[in-house]
């Protein structure tokens, strides 16, 4: 059985770069600080020195040079950026002649936003919900109109929430309503700390509303669902570990890209189930103005996020089972994405700020529902 590490380790992250698969990523634990550059293999002595130095800073990674970028990202985007980063390093070197270093930090999306607020010097953030960037704007770290800085509301790709069951789907789970079955064990991360958990909550609630149900009926379903959650992990990757490695639960609810990575890693041990409808889960990005102004790396940080919109970037993203904006790339990878009816946070809940206040603020719907569970 693979046990996830609970502390940061540069050596563990280098192992992940070499293996490049989900199982090794699970070994890396819930948070990581990684460094890639374009200079090739370093001497063993220098690697030891750097690993020691970076390990000491892993709990609060920061970038200090104009050609360094720290990307604070969400939990289940680890594998994606391990391929994006070296591709960008090579592309930037070719275009500008600069050798650039990308540092990577991962955790629950909302926890990552809090870390940036608390002083983590991330030049860019790549989150899984707009709310976690809005809060940075509220704190004066970037402008309130940050979605206008890049195309598609500054969301170069998106996903949705689907189910992963044990082999053969023994509990016959096909819908959001099924997740409220008495006695079922549903694995979902904490909506207070992860975008993954928030999207699951909103997808279940929204499925009732979109089918003509009432707020009371939606609250009842979500209440039954969370009564079936035996443990709330801090982020999406922790929930995946609980389901696949600790073998807890009958069904995991998570992003489409995550379940496909699990299928790649474990084969027929699990089954992917698409509900009739689900929520559109955009992955917004932003340059953190306060940090790039301090470090002088706005050009590099902007170029990094623009790379995500390039055909090369979009193809890498699609290979990792995220849905992209490029029509050409989506056509190429159409076989990887099952058609599904998607509704948005704006359509059903009036936007992220309204949803946050109604459902996830202290004392709001989620707290009330979860307290009732106890």
Kindly report, residue by residue over 134-191, the tens digit of the pLDDT: 999 999 999 999 999 999 999 999 999 999 999 999 999 999 999 999 999 999 999 9
pLDDT tens digits, one per residue of 46-101: 443 344 344 434 444 444 566 799 999 998 899 999 999 999 999 999 999 999 99
Question: Model pTM greater than 0.85?
Answer: no
Least confident of 94-103, 120-129, 266-275: 266-275
The answer to whether residues 22 and 265 touch, using CB atoms and an 8 Å cutoff, is yes
DSSP string for residues in 134-164: HHHHHTTSS-TTGGGGSHHHH--EEEEEEEE
Rounded Cα distance between 24 and 220, Å, is 39
**pLDDT band at 264, cuts 50/70/90?**
confident
DSSP string for residues in 193-222: T-HHHHHHHHHHHHHHHHTT--HHHHHHHH
**Of 115, 125, 129, nearest in space to 31 by CA:** 115
Please report, for residues 19, 30, 77, 121, 195, the alpha-carbon distance to residue 50 in angstroms, rounded to integers and kept in the order given.
21, 22, 25, 19, 33
Per DSSP, the three-state class of 280 is strand
Least confident of 30-34, 97-101, 299-303, 341-345: 30-34
The answer to whether residues 169 and 177 touch, using CB atoms and an 8 Å cutoff, is no
CATH 3.40.190.10 domain extents, the chain: 10-155+284-309, 159-281+339-373
Task: Output the six-digit token pair for 23.
Answer: 């199982």
Task: Output the six-digit token pair for 337.
Answer: 């994405």
**Does domain 10-155+284-309 match CATH 3.40.190.10?**
yes
pLDDT at 268 over 90: no
Q: What pLDDT, on the 0 to 100 scale, is given for residue 17? A: 27
Tell the CATH topology of 159-281+339-373.
D-Maltodextrin-Binding Protein; domain 2 (3.40.190)
């Amino acid at each position: 059985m693979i046990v996830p590490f609970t502390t940061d380790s540069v050596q563990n992250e280098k192992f992940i770069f070499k293996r490049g698969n989900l199982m090794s990523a699970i070994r890396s634990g819930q948070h990581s600080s990684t460094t890639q550059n374009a200079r090739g293999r370093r001497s063993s002595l220098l690697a030891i020195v750097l690993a020691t130095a970076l390990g000491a800073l892993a709990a609060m990674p920061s970038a200090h040079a104009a050609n360094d970028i720290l990307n604070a990202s969400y939990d289940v985007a680890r594998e994606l950026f391990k391929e994006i980063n070296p591709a960008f390093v090579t592309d930037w070197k070719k275009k500008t002649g600069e050798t650039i270093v990308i540092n990577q930090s991962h955790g629950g999306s909302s926890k990552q936003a809090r870390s940036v607020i608390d002083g983590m010097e991330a030049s860019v953030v790549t989150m899984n919900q707009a709310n976690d960037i809005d809060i940075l704007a509220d704190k004066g770290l970037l402008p309130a109109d940050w979605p206008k800085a890049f195309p598609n509301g500054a969301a170069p790709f998106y996903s949705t929430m689907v189910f992963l069951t044990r082999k053969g789907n023994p509990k016959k789970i096909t819908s959001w309503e099924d997740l409220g079955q008495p006695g079922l064990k549903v694995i979902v991360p904490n909506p207070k700390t992860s975008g993954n958990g928030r999207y699951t909550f909103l997808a279940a609630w929204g499925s009732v509303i979109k089918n003509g149900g009432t707020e009371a009926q939606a609250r009842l379903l979500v209440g039954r669902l969370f009564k079936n959650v035996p443990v709330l992990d801090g982020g999406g990757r922790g929930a995946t570990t609980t389901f696949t490695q600790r073998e807890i639960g009958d069904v995991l609810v998570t992003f489409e890209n995550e379940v496909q990575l699990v299928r790649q890693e474990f084969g027929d041990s699990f089954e992917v189930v698409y509900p009739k409808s689900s929520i559109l889960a955009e992955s917004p990005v932003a340059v953190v103005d306060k940090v790039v102004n301090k470090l002088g790396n706005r050009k590099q940080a902007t170029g990094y996020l623009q790379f995500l919109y390039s055909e090369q970037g979009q193809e890498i993203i699609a290979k990792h089972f995220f849905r992209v904006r490029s029509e050409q790339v989506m056509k190429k990878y159409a076989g990887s994405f099952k058609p599904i009816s998607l509704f948005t946070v704006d359509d059903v809940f009036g936007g992220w700020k309204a949803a946050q206040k109604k459902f996830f603020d202290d004392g709001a719907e989620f707290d009330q529902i979860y307290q009732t569970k106890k």
